[in-house]
Structure 1
């Protein structure tokens, strides 16, 4: 949720902090701060607001000559957005930034208050800093103090720590929340996300669960539980600094929408062999794997869960696998149904989603096979799942996912083709056709849909002043309606709900009144007649209807005011075409309403707390 950056070396630390924080702002942006060591001590500068507010404060309170610093951008969990709740937090010799939640902070706070410790903020982070300072004061050994402190903490957390009496050292702790170390030409770095490191270096190493590290200007050392020391295993990322830039687009979201054709092609084409058949061998998955699967459970949050709903339909249709979809935060509260023949697929763009990671561990504890579908390489879900498939979407900076969702859904189609062929549910010809639809036709159709921007603007403008909007659809269109509704409400702040079209008459239609916008997805001609009857139901009650349907389908004049026509194409391609339509409608509506499209209020990109 929050973003952490740190550096120690020979370079100027403060500009590095500001640059890294600007990249990490998608993880939280209600307050921001840095702590920087100088010859005169350690300066802490922080404030409520975004990076520009900190930059203004640093102009008034300049910090010069620092070569060692930590920084933080916050998404509030304990205590509201304010200067005093902003990170870093100082307690004696300890200055600390934190991502995560300390679950037992209240008991620890009371214990420390009984010792006379006074607190300035409402945060759990200051409690962790005070506890660490208490332990550090007893012996003056950072490693021993950190170990003694984390032994008392419950929850998920990542820390970047400075000790005011240890110049040039940054200490790093990872327990449940992600952190990445990096090696540059002029020193060493830490960050919550590899994208924040790209302006400085492409050599990085994700920290393992429970790891503690010490960074100095000329070394990075990891400490194991037995006191042993070793160097991180550095890897060179294929990502470039340019991949995390807007590239001339007004918003990252629009850029990422336009990147979807290439992202889909890349995510699926790499899983097709020279004969056009599915091939996941590079992912460590052979044909025999699918023959041993008897049922599938898909676990995810938000848009990834909506991609899972698409996966449920296609796995049942093409692979004959009974499939259920579960909200990750609820999954552990159900009895562990299934057996060793049950495959649990965990979908997460970041690979660090706390609820999804907890569900993965729950599934493994009960003997289930696990498969992670993630975008970010070498993340916790990717490492802990028995099998993993990367979506190759590239960096996604906007909080509202677009190409992440798109590649998740496309990979699930490819999985369905592989599983169906292996299990004998479909033949080679059908598998080839499905893969061709996804890898070739879908990118082409998405490019075509990008040319309908004027129509998307018209639809968005018509609903931008409304406070309530409804999406409806049947079958896969209902799954896509859920994604469309989420996109609209998360970036435009318009209340929007999705309903199965046939359910309108079972209560929801009471909410329809003259002028209520209703967006109907009807990409399957076989279901159009039934959906069209639902359009008449809402239209007769004065709804403002927008219909998204294939070209060539006859639509009675009274059924819809605005019709967005999809190109003639296969069923999978029609679904993805409607996906782009709902993304663009949400984007344009948010633009008309003057919303912060890339950074919607109260949201964070990578949700690393439960």
Structure 2
């Protein structure tokens, strides 16, 4: 949940590092720092807070160099202090930046302290810097010292290391955390995310688990976990700088909410073009893999878990297959009963979510070889470890609170449900055509929901002084209530919970009073009358209701009941449309409360630590 950028070039790399850190700030923004080798010494600038503060300090210091590394931090070990900020230095010679968590850092710290090393920070990262220096002191060069050190580390890491005694190269390593190399002309780069180096190059190499590498101005050499030199495939990134610009919007979250009609259209393009749900959507051999599936197990975290929770309703109702959904970080620590004929589906926006990646590894160790990843980032770790993959086409998502990634994941999961039904002989031709038409209409319906923005912004004023909120939904819309509560708490810091509306009388109703706004997802479906009854329970206790319903439902506002109508009921895809209002409600409430919408406290975008 931090950002790394590094560069070695025949020009001043400090502007490259600073710009890269600005692009990576969504991954961590407690502190930022850069270290460079110049004039035979290591120079370092660190500051708590945002990259702009560190940039001002670097400019004041007149920092210039042709070799350097930078980092934005989201604190794990040690508080938010300048001493704990990266880069970390050993013996005024070696500088290092690190993403991830080293699990055996305490034992290594004790060992290195015994060898005479003095620790300045509370971080696990400083252990790595001293460990590499220790191996150098035994006669190993920088690369060999890095390779020897990582063999002694337990946990996850992405590392970039420079040394004043070796000013013509940088060494890097990856295990469990994303790291890529950018290829330039007479210059090369390293980053945890391609957005950090798009200013300089779109040619990238994705490092694999256990890889180490050496970068000079003119050459890159990668080594596998055994230390043998290997060639990794070069890719041309399709991420554009324009997609990373804020444009006319106040925040990236607002921009990304409004990008959803296009993101959905792009994601479903392959389905619409052939007017069919073909197994090849998920890979060339997907027909063979999916045809014998007897059930589905979905593993995900956070917002992706709620996408999987929606998919459970779709998969069971449409394909007739049993489906379970589990939080990835819990699945990997229990004795799961494996059925090799079950499909394991992992969902991750970044493709690097550590808990989800480890859950996938655990599933495979149990004998699951039918694996499918739904992901937004091509060539990331989870898709590479999966047999099948469905890439959403949401584009770069910068705001910490996921929006367009969630709705495009739902499209991928819906496509999976229908494809499984088709392979099982449960999908009539007429029904397939109807589902295709539903998808065709979806971007327009989402745009209609976006047009409700002014009304929803007025609702947000009523939420601004509140400290608690309750979200209710039933059936396939219950996970949307969960997602709405998550969005509100993530960015406005209002404590919010979500329940199936039918559970009110089993406990949560005790919380309801005039100070507890209750948000209800109430589309015109088979459960609408049940939801109306649940709303009456709230009103009877003095609760104030904020109801999102459909244009063709037959109830309106009344005393203590506020109603906003989304487009007419869109059938099976209704959860996607009803996601838009809860996203907007969270956004405008956070805006009114003056919180940092794109960079909420204590959170970062890509969760690459456990």
Aligned match of 1:69: 68
| Deviation at residue 91 of structure 1 after TM alignment | 0.5
| Deviation at residue 454 of structure 1 after TM alignment | 1.1
Aligned match of 2:113: 113
- Contact 2:185-2:218 at 8 Å conserved across structures: no
- Contact 2:282-2:390 at 8 Å conserved across structures: no
| Deviation at residue 105 of structure 1 after TM alignment | 0.6
- Contact 1:525-1:550 at 8 Å conserved across structures: no
My pick for the range that moved more, 505-514 or 335-344, is 335-344
- Give the alignment of 1:134-173 within 5 angstroms: 134-173=134-173
Measured on the aligned residues, the alpha-carbon RMSD in Å equals 1.5
- Contact 2:544-2:561 at 8 Å conserved across structures: yes
Aligned match of 2:45: 45
Does the alignment pair 1:445 with 2:445?
yes
Aligned match of 2:345: 345
Per-residue CA deviations over 1:540-568 (Å, capped at 9, x if unaligned) read 21111111111122226547521110212
Aligned match of 1:125: 125
Quickly say closer, same or farther: Cα 1:250–1:557, change in 2 above 3 A.
closer
- Give the alignment of 1:495-510 within 5 angstroms: 495-510=495-510
Mapped partners of 1:334, 1:271: distance in 2: 37
Per-residue CA deviations over 1:41-91 (Å, capped at 9, x if unaligned) read 220111111101101211332212x11100000010000000100000001
Quickly say closer, same or farther: Cα 1:544–1:226, change in 2 above 3 A.
closer
My pick for the range that moved more, 423-432 or 548-557, is 548-557
Mapped partners of 1:400, 1:18: distance in 2: 24
Aligned match of 2:433: 432
Aligned match of 2:205: 205
Look up the SS of the partner of 1:79 in the other structure. coil
Mapped partners of 1:213, 1:77: distance in 2: 26
Mapped partners of 2:271, 2:286: distance in 1: 11
Aligned match of 1:253: 253
My pick for the range that moved more, 232-241 or 469-478, is 232-241
Per-residue CA deviations over 1:228-276 (Å, capped at 9, x if unaligned) read 3345421111111111111221111111111111111111221345344
Aligned match of 2:395: 394
| Deviation at residue 435 of structure 1 after TM alignment | 2.8
Per-residue CA deviations over 1:474-505 (Å, capped at 9, x if unaligned) read 00111100000001100111100000101010
Quickly say closer, same or farther: Cα 1:287–1:84, change in 2 above 3 A.
same
Mapped partners of 2:583, 2:210: distance in 1: 39
Mapped partners of 1:62, 1:541: distance in 2: 64
Aligned match of 1:403: 404
Look up the SS of the partner of 2:350 in the other structure. coil
Look up the SS of the partner of 1:270 in the other structure. helix
Quickly say closer, same or farther: Cα 1:81–1:101, change in 2 above 3 A.
same
Look up the SS of the partner of 2:598 in the other structure. coil
- Give the alignment of 1:73-472 within 5 angstroms: 73-92=72-91, 93-272=93-272, 274-281=274-281, 283-368=283-368, 369-438=370-439, 440-472=440-472
Mapped partners of 2:279, 2:138: distance in 1: 58
Mapped partners of 2:226, 2:280: distance in 1: 39
Aligned residues: 608
Aligned match of 1:479: 479
- Contact 2:101-2:124 at 8 Å conserved across structures: yes
My pick for the range that moved more, 191-200 or 291-300, is 191-200
Quickly say closer, same or farther: Cα 1:110–1:227, change in 2 above 3 A.
closer
Mapped partners of 2:325, 2:435: distance in 1: 22
Give TM-score scaled by structure 1 length. 0.97
- Contact 1:99-1:159 at 8 Å conserved across structures: yes
- Contact 1:181-1:191 at 8 Å conserved across structures: yes
Mapped partners of 2:416, 2:559: distance in 1: 37
Per-residue CA deviations over 1:414-450 (Å, capped at 9, x if unaligned) read 1111111110122122122113212x11100111111
Gaps of 5+ in 1: none
Mapped partners of 2:210, 2:559: distance in 1: 59
Give TM-score scaled by structure 2 length. 0.97
My pick for the range that moved more, 589-598 or 53-62, is 53-62
- Contact 2:522-2:528 at 8 Å conserved across structures: yes
Mapped partners of 2:392, 2:429: distance in 1: 24
| Deviation at residue 286 of structure 1 after TM alignment | 3.9
| Deviation at residue 200 of structure 1 after TM alignment | 1.4
Mapped partners of 2:188, 2:156: distance in 1: 24
- Contact 1:290-1:423 at 8 Å conserved across structures: no
- Contact 1:414-1:435 at 8 Å conserved across structures: no
- Contact 1:463-1:589 at 8 Å conserved across structures: yes
My pick for the range that moved more, 294-303 or 284-293, is 284-293
| Deviation at residue 571 of structure 1 after TM alignment | 1.4
Look up the SS of the partner of 1:139 in the other structure. coil
Look up the SS of the partner of 2:233 in the other structure. coil
My pick for the range that moved more, 284-293 or 574-583, is 284-293
| Deviation at residue 199 of structure 1 after TM alignment | 1.5
